[in-house]
Structure 1
Amino acid sequence: MLSIFDQGPPPPCPVPFNLAAHVLGQTCADPEKVALSVLGLQAAQDLTYAGLEQAVRGTGTGLLDAGLTPGDMILMRLGNTLDFPIAYLGAIAAGLVPVPTSSQLTEAETARMIEELAPAAVLRDPGVACAPHPLELSLADLRNMYEMPPCDWAMGDPDRLAYVVYTSGTSGKPRAVAHAHRAIWARQMMMDGWYGLRPDDRLMHAGAFNWTYTLGTGLMDPWTIGATALIPEPGTDPAVFPDLLKRYSATIFAAAPGVYRKFLRDDVRVNLPDLRHGLCAGEKLSPHLHRTWTRATGTELYEAYGMSECSTFISSGPTHPARGEALGQPQTGRRVAIVDETGPVAQGEPGVIAVRRDDPGLMLSYLNAPEETEARMQGDWFLTGDIGAMAVDGQITYLGRNDDMMNAGGYRVSPVEVEAVLSAHPGITQIGVTDIEVKQDTRIIAAFYTGPAILDDSDLHTYVQDKLARYKQPRAYIHLPALPAGPNGKLLRRALPAYFKAPNT
């Protein structure tokens, strides 16, 4: 039997459709229900569904009144505040195309984005770095829009462009990924396939408002079914998350593995009487961390696999827990295969994890890059670049990357992008970058270089500071007499970890 999971497609997306309207479709059912609680150590700030919809649709009106036209692209340079999801949904409600970006990006990185996207406007928090743009709307401008008359929902073809996100690629150049309005419709397959989410749930997400993982799993998905989202206030120490989970009666907790590592200890037990289970995504969950969570809480931890190009489509969940070391199985409605260059491989054989090119959660394309888009396709399949194996029951085991992509705290980072920056340093003649496991479940980005002399680490940290987002910056620099290379002189990046002697964080 071939490694194909296909139990039929999901229900078709309704027509006409608007992503933001779908997210807030439960508002009328209970307008005064709390949609969001921002959790402090002493008290929470609540926002009802009625208040949320008013702010979102008022923002849509304000953006149109600012001279923007449906279809215009808007670069989002906002910080970790509630303004981020409100602006995102407000833009989509009005038919505009937001481009959410990490607040850690530097001015130089945003300059390249502005050149590529030619956005009509930038939504700008003054505390967030950004290259100049002729039309900048400030935080004060956005907040003044919240009480404006609500915009009409811009309904239309679910396959039309809704938003753009950036991801790093193996080429080293961040790629703009274009998604359709139907992407939110595809996420309903996660509700049972991963979350086990119900309207009476209180889902606490540990991430920042301006992280796409938080935006989807922590906010939009709970709102879509009328549940309550819980977000710790910015700057909250992860050590207090167990207290917040208990105090605010969280029923589900979602975070990246790095967050779990920060507050879990092998010998600590956590009393969380309302919690049903935890959710994990962003990087591979280690068996040790999984065991530590289950011992500490007495609940399960369900893992999911997805990427910027496609919403999470393989997961474990309450109705189908993972078996052994497997990730889980494709969600009902997803069509997934394990392929090689000839097509789907036999069950149990390793190959590239692939999802059908007509999956409603799959990107429209890499923006303005049709050749690069098609290069990721093989017949009916979109190739993820990750290696896996499918068992006879559909469970998929993750076997690693098919390239050299790194994972830094849940962010995928291309070593080529980091190497391109460091190669311009006058004291470096050759550079190789990879991620290194410095202790169990902890990885850092390390740069290995050659040059006439050993360079001062602090000088190198300063050199990359205004050129790379913080999560892309190496934490360790290692001078070598020569970098490992193959017979043709090509860098053997995967041989670099053997040259790492001791952590230098």
Structure 2
Amino acid sequence: MNFAREVVDSAPRERPALVALDGEGNRREIPFGEVADRSARLASTLARHGAGRGEVVMTVIGNTPEWVDAMVACFRIGAVALPCNEQLRPKDLASRIERVAPRVVLAAEHLIDAVAESGFDGPVMVAGDERLYDAPEAPAVDLAATDPALITFTSGTAGEPKPIRHGQRYLHGQRVQAEHWFGAHAGELCWCTAASGWSKSARNAFIAPWLRGAAALLHDARFDPEERLAVIERECVAVLCMSPTEYRTVVKRAGLQPLPSLRHAVAAGEPLNPEVVFAWRDATGLEVHDGYGQTET
């Protein structure tokens, strides 16, 4: 099995994969063909720097296409992706580095200093550097269901964050929740707002939409409740996945209104209080489907 081959490479090259927005108002539409090509070239560069099968690649990148490229590149060659939240401090990065020993770190340019301060002494690459893509396309390798694919860290609410390793079957196993909870339909645009580095982001930022034939929205900007609603309306988002805190903030600080394109809404994290569920339903006509899960599963 190989997620990159079976989901990315096999999709029609012109089918929309990502809609990427940044904090400066820039917008990019990226088809599957571009994701396939760029991730394959990046995979060759990672392998050349020692990130082969079973080796860990740490990413310290926001919700950008370059993060998706890195994740898919790892899936392609059997490297183990370790996405980290860009808000982590150097000591937090150092703790993760000590526990999982990444072979390579791929970081956003503004986070390179934080990686250096963490004490990491291996190869560090700047996400988005076009020289990383100046390489031949790496083929997708055959992987076993139990081969490692992904490491995510727990939140640390019940003690020190701990690493959780998931196998290749974890990626394909997301089909169940992608259909029955996340609820994406083919041809739709879906938005999971979780920052890269969280378990929910690893599952739903792009994996769940793609498994259902949908496209994923990436928004690399600070959370603003009014802008959140504006983006949903402007981009015709059909499926929305937010944290309970974000739902509460939108209800409290933004003028909730009908959102014609939005068909389905889900939440995950801490429990979502009924008052927010009722307020969202009264304004939009949609029930928020509150999910429960663990990083470990």
Same fold (TM over 0.5): yes
* Contact 1:72 1:120 survives alignment (8 Å): yes
* Contact 1:26 1:226 survives alignment (8 Å): no
Change (3 A) 1:305 1:26: farther
Aligned to 1:285: 272
Matches within 5 A, 1:129-168: 129-130=114-115, 131-139=118-126, 143-146=130-133, 148-168=135-155
In 2: Cα distance, 1:86 partner to 1:138 partner:
13
In 1: Cα distance, 2:247 partner to 2:239 partner:
14
- Which of 157, 161, 175 pairs up with 1:188? 175
Matches within 5 A, 1:324-363: none
Change (3 A) 1:78 1:136: farther
In 1: Cα distance, 2:97 partner to 2:293 partner:
27
1:217: how far off?
1.3
The answer as to 2:26 corresponding to 1:64 is no
In 2: Cα distance, 1:284 partner to 1:290 partner:
11
- Which of 79, 83, 90 pairs up with 1:96? 79
Aligned to 2:21: 39
Aligned to 1:178: 165
The answer as to 2:219 corresponding to 1:232 is yes
1:35: how far off?
0.9
In 1: Cα distance, 2:163 partner to 2:26 partner:
39
* Aligned residue type for 2:17: A
* Contact 2:178 2:211 survives alignment (8 Å): no
Secondary structure at the residue paired with 1:214? Answer: helix
Change (3 A) 1:97 1:297: same
Change (3 A) 1:25 1:290: farther
The answer as to 2:252 corresponding to 1:298 is no
Cα deviation 1:177-205 (Å, max 9, x = unaligned): 11100001211111332122211211122
In 1: Cα distance, 2:195 partner to 2:156 partner:
23
- Which of 47, 50, 56 pairs up with 2:33? 50
Cα deviation 1:408-427 (Å, max 9, x = unaligned): xxxxxxxxxxxxxxxxxxxx
1:169: how far off?
5.6
Secondary structure at the residue paired with 2:206? Answer: helix
Aligned to 1:115: 98
Secondary structure at the residue paired with 2:88? Answer: coil
Secondary structure at the residue paired with 1:46? Answer: strand
User: Is the strand fraction higher in 1 or 2?
Assistant: 1
In 2: Cα distance, 1:174 partner to 1:105 partner:
12
* Aligned residue type for 2:18: L
Secondary structure at the residue paired with 2:85? Answer: coil
1:207: how far off?
2.8
* Contact 1:24 1:224 survives alignment (8 Å): no
In 2: Cα distance, 1:196 partner to 1:121 partner:
35
In 2: Cα distance, 1:269 partner to 1:171 partner:
34
Aligned to 1:386: none
In 1: Cα distance, 2:247 partner to 2:8 partner:
30
1:153: how far off?
0.8
In 2: Cα distance, 1:181 partner to 1:152 partner:
17
Change (3 A) 1:134 1:267: closer
Matches within 5 A, 1:238-387: 238-265=225-252, 268-310=255-297
What is the TM-score with the length of structure 1 in the denominator?
Answer: 0.54
1:176: how far off?
1.4
The higher-RCO structure (CA 8 Å, 6+ apart) is: 2
1:265: how far off?
4.2
* Contact 1:26 1:225 survives alignment (8 Å): no
Secondary structure at the residue paired with 2:221? Answer: coil
In 2: Cα distance, 1:196 partner to 1:79 partner:
25
1:289: how far off?
0.8
Aligned to 1:200: 187
1:74: how far off?
2.1
1:52: how far off?
0.9
Aligned to 2:205: 218
1:120: how far off?
1.8
What is the TM-score with the length of structure 2 in the denominator?
Answer: 0.88
1:278: how far off?
0.9
Change (3 A) 1:261 1:96: same
Change (3 A) 1:211 1:169: closer
1:22: how far off?
3.7
* Contact 2:16 2:215 survives alignment (8 Å): yes
In 2: Cα distance, 1:103 partner to 1:305 partner:
25
In structure 2, runs of 5+ residues without a counterpart are none
In 2: Cα distance, 1:185 partner to 1:138 partner:
29
Change (3 A) 1:105 1:191: closer
Change (3 A) 1:143 1:166: farther
Cα deviation 1:243-283 (Å, max 9, x = unaligned): 21111111111111111122224994413112112111122
